[in-house]
Structure 1
C-alpha cells in the first residue's frame, strides 16, 4: 500500500518553491513523515558564460545557497517541522533525482512554474522530465487557488493528497 514516510521538499525561494514548501509541509505534518529539504542552486547559466563564472566568487555562491536553505528550514520550523537540510549546486533535473535516491525518499515535492506561448519552446535545455528520473512518487504543486487559471481542472490540494495517501496506507 501507498505510504509516504520520507519526503523530499525542493525549495528554491521562488513563489512556486514557497508553494511547494507550504504544501509539502502540510502533507508531511498530516502523515508524520520525516522531512528533507533540498535547495538547488542552478549553475547552468554560470557554466554557459565563463565571464560570469569568473566574476561570481565561490564564497558568494555558498553563502547564497546556505541562506536559501536556512530560509526554508526556518519556514518549516515555524510550522513545527524539523527537517534535515541539503544543498546542491547544479542542474535541478540532475540533483533532485540524485538526492531522492540517496535519501531513499518516498515522495518528492516540487513547485511548477507555468509557461505560456513561445516561452515553452525557448525555456532552455531539458534533458528529460523529473518523473522519468526518479523511482518514487512526485507531487507537483500548482500554487494558491488564486494563482491557478480557472481552466485548470483536477488540481487537488495537499490536503486532498494527504487524505488519499492515508486511505492507501
Structure 2
C-alpha cells in the first residue's frame, strides 16, 4: 500500500513518537523511507546583526545531529533510510519534499500548543493537509504519556 514514506523529524518527544510510528509502517510495508530534518531560519528574511556565522554553523550542526540520530535509529531497526536537511518554513519544506519525492505517506508529529500560542501562531500548520496529494499520518502522544490526567 505505501511504497514510499517521508518521515518528518525534529528530535522532540513528539518527533520521536512520530518516528517510531512511521518506522512501524515502513517495516510493515517494506517502504522506501526518507527522513526530513527541517532547520527553521530566523524569523526575518533579512539576517539580523545578532546572527553570526557561528550561530548558523551551530544551527546546521544541530540539524545534522537530529538527522543522524533519526536515520541511525531507523537503520538499527533494519530500515534503509535516506536523510535530508531542509532550511525554511516547515510547511513549505514538507510540501517541497513531497513534490520532489512523491511519497505515498508523510508522517508528522502533533505538538500540543496553548491557546495563546495558537492565537499568536502564523497559522502555517493549518495549510499542510490542503497542499499535499498523499496520505498523512499525524502521530499523537496519548495524554497519559504527556503527563496529562
TM-score by length of 1: 0.78
Equivalent in 15, 18, 21 of residue 20 of structure 1: 18
Runs of 4+ residues over 4 Å off in structure 1? 46-49
2:112 is matched with which residue? 114
Which runs of 5 or more structure 2 residues have no equivalent in the other structure? none
Where 2:52 maps in the other structure, the secondary structure is: helix
CA contact (8 A) 1:46 1:52 kept: no
How far, CA to CA, are the matches of 1:6 and 1:97 in structure 2? 15
Q: Deviations over 1:90-119 (max 9, x none)?
A: 110100010011011111000000123322
Which runs of 5 or more structure 1 residues have no equivalent in the other structure? 151-169
How far, CA to CA, are the matches of 2:41 and 2:98 in structure 1? 20
How far, CA to CA, are the matches of 1:49 and 1:144 in structure 2? 39
Q: CA RMSD in A?
A: 2.1
2:59 is matched with which residue? 61
Deviation at 1:144, TM superposition (A): 4.5
How far, CA to CA, are the matches of 2:136 and 2:143 in structure 1? 20
1:73 is matched with which residue? 71
Query: What is the correspondence of 1:11-50 to structure 2 with a 5 Å cutoff?
Result: 11-45=9-43, 47=45, 50=48
Q: How many residues align?
A: 147
Where 1:50 maps in the other structure, the secondary structure is: coil
TM-score by length of 2: 0.87
Q: Deviations over 1:104-140 (max 9, x none)?
A: 1111000000123322212x31244210111111110
